[in-house]
Amino acid sequence: MFGIWGHEKAAELAYYGLHAQQHRGQEGAGIVVSDGKKLKLHKGLGLVNDVFKQADLKKLGGKAAIAHVRYSTQGDKGKGVDSVQPLLFHSLTGSIAFAHSGNIMNSHELRGELESLGSILQTSSDSENLAHLIKRSKKETIEGAIVDVLPKIVGAYTFIVLKEDKMYVAADPRGIRPLSIGKLGDGYVVAAETSAFDIIGASFEREVLPGELIVISDEGLESKRFAIREQRKMCAMEYVYLSRPDSDLNHVNVHASRKRMGAELAKELPAEADMVIGVPDSSISAAIGYAEQSGLPYEMGIIKNRYIGRTFIQPSQELREQGVKMKLSPVRGIVEGKRVVMIDDSIVRGTTSKRIVRMLKEAGAKEVHVRIASPSIQHPCYYGIDMSTRKELIAANNTVEEICEIIGADSVAYLSDQGLEEAIVKDKTINQGVCMACMTGNYPVKGES
């Protein structure tokens, strides 16, 4: 997600901001702009580059924009362009656009309520529920309506709403999904990842706090609270896997945290080996940390074709396997005859590890010791990461020994819960708690899924 307020080149900057966050979703992209009087939308299926051409951005114009890249989760399976965000609604009193990230756990219930009141919903998107709830609120202002509606929502979410003359930004009471505010000249920017600020030369201001609603307009920035501030529970998987290494989440740099995960892993689970290799790209930081701590050389044993999207974005298992095959290749000259420690950031379904171990063995590796830079994922995520059924999680259905056998490794071991938490949370005084529910089963937000 991305938002910008108070800049002549709002649409173009939104495009760059999306581009820096392309890894967060590859199914679709959209931008809505405001010129102060009306809202305009351009969206489509595919990558940011496919959806937007120079002429589209020119046509959009505007001095404020919100933007989104789409990655559908289990609870949110709409596939067509209608489900691509931002969603834009017109009415007699003006227009309103929504971009949302995360998962609303009680959306089924909210939908039922809305339909019984006569709302006709057009998409399967959570954001549409939010839009209708806000429209139906009896409060006079949009601020009032948002503050009225948000406490009804159970789940993990961040969102940006755009009106002709204002932008609204909010994060759930636990702050599970990341969202930061930056400054660019006299204007403001908002992004899930700070990598989007760097690319457009904006400076980081602060995080959107758990349970906070921020209203941005030409008058500046105003903060309101719609929920009691609870301890933050930022998604640990953002650090482990999802975010870009150059992003800072909650004052912690992602690459640095991954290196600490790798170093912890080396302390907890050393291996007799000749070299350490990482699975590109997300495991390289952890592999460097492991190598540094263990004293083993870090080697480039696997290379990645960078023109193929992330495996987990592709919907079916069959496609996933195909994607993995196309994506990674072993470096025979490096691994042949060697004992290799292979670091991966996580095992979800087991597809990646299995394929890579086989690939390394076929390339002549003598032993492959798999070390995973996060604890085993045994519980579904209800907060917006696409692993929402126990059935698909290899560690929910197999012991570590069985996993080792399935993926054909010489040994498999995972980082401890405590090791991961310590690698992320550097300074407890700045409210840096993390969600680790998919590993511990300890869910910070309870509700239906």
Q: Contact residues for ligand 5GP (CB under 6 A)?
A: 237, 241, 279, 282, 311-312, 344-353, 385-387
424 binds ligand SF4 (CB under 6 A): no
Sites for ligand SF4 among residues 381-400 (CB under 6 A): 381, 383, 385
Binding partner selected for residue 436 from Mg ion, ligand 5GP, ligand SF4, none, CB under the kind-specific 5 to 8 Å limit: ligand SF4
Given 237, 261, 348, 420, the residue binding ligand SF4 (CB under 6 A):
237
423 binds ligand SF4 (CB under 6 A): no
Binding partner selected for residue 34 from ligand SF4, Mg ion, ligand 5GP, none, CB under the kind-specific 5 to 8 Å limit: none
Question: Which residues line the annotated binding site for Mg(2+)?
Answer: 282, 344-345
Pick between residue 74 and residue 217 the one whose CB is nearest to ligand 5GP: 74
Pick between residue 46 and residue 245 the one whose CB is nearest to ligand SF4: 245
SS (H, E, C) the chain: CEEEECCCCHHHHHHHHHHCCHHHCCCEEEEEEECCCCEEEEEEECCHHHHCCHHHHHHHCCCEEEEEEECCCCCCCCCCHHHCCCEEEEECCEEEEEEEEEEECCHHHHHHHHHHCCCCCCCCCHHHHHHHHHHHCCCCCHHHHHHHHHHHCCEEEEEEEECCCCEEEEECCCCCCCCEEEEECCEEEEECCCHHHHHHCCEEEEECCCCEEEEEECCEEEEEECCCCCCCCEEHHHHHHHCCCCCEECCEEHHHHHHHHHHHHHHHCCCCCCEEEECCCCCHHHHHHHHHHHCCCECCCEEECCCCCCHHHCCCHHHHHHHHHHHEEECHHHHCCCEEEEEECCCCCCHHHHHHHHHHHHCCCCEEEEEECCCCCCCCCCCCCCCCCHHHCHHHHCCHHHHHHHHCCCEEEECCHHHHHHHHCCCHHHCCCEECHHHHCCCCCCCCC
By beta carbon distance, the residue nearest ligand 5GP is 312
445 binds ligand SF4 (CB under 6 A): no
Shortest reach from residue 449's CB to ligand 5GP, in Å: 16
Question: Which residues line the annotated binding site for [4Fe-4S] cluster?
Answer: 235, 381, 435, 438
Question: Which residues line the annotated binding site?
Answer: 235, 282, 344-345, 381, 435, 438
Pick between residue 34 and residue 352 the one whose CB is nearest to ligand 5GP: 352
Question: Pattern 265-284, binding to Mg ion, x per CB under 5 A?
Answer: --------------x--x--
192 binds ligand SF4 (CB under 6 A): no
Shortest reach from residue 344's CB to Mg ion, in Å: 6
Pick between residue 12 and residue 207 the one whose CB is nearest to ligand SF4: 207
Q: In 3D, which of 186, 184, 208, 185 has the Cα closest to residue 196?
A: 184
Tell me the window of 273-281, 351-359, 399-407, 430-438 that interacts with ligand SF4 (CB under 6 A).
Answer: 430-438
Shortest reach from residue 423's CB to Mg ion, in Å: 17
Binding partner selected for residue 132 from Mg ion, ligand SF4, ligand 5GP, none, CB under the kind-specific 5 to 8 Å limit: none
Residues that bind Mg ion (CB under 5 A): 279, 282
Residues that bind ligand SF4 (CB under 6 A): 176, 235-237, 381, 383, 385, 435-438
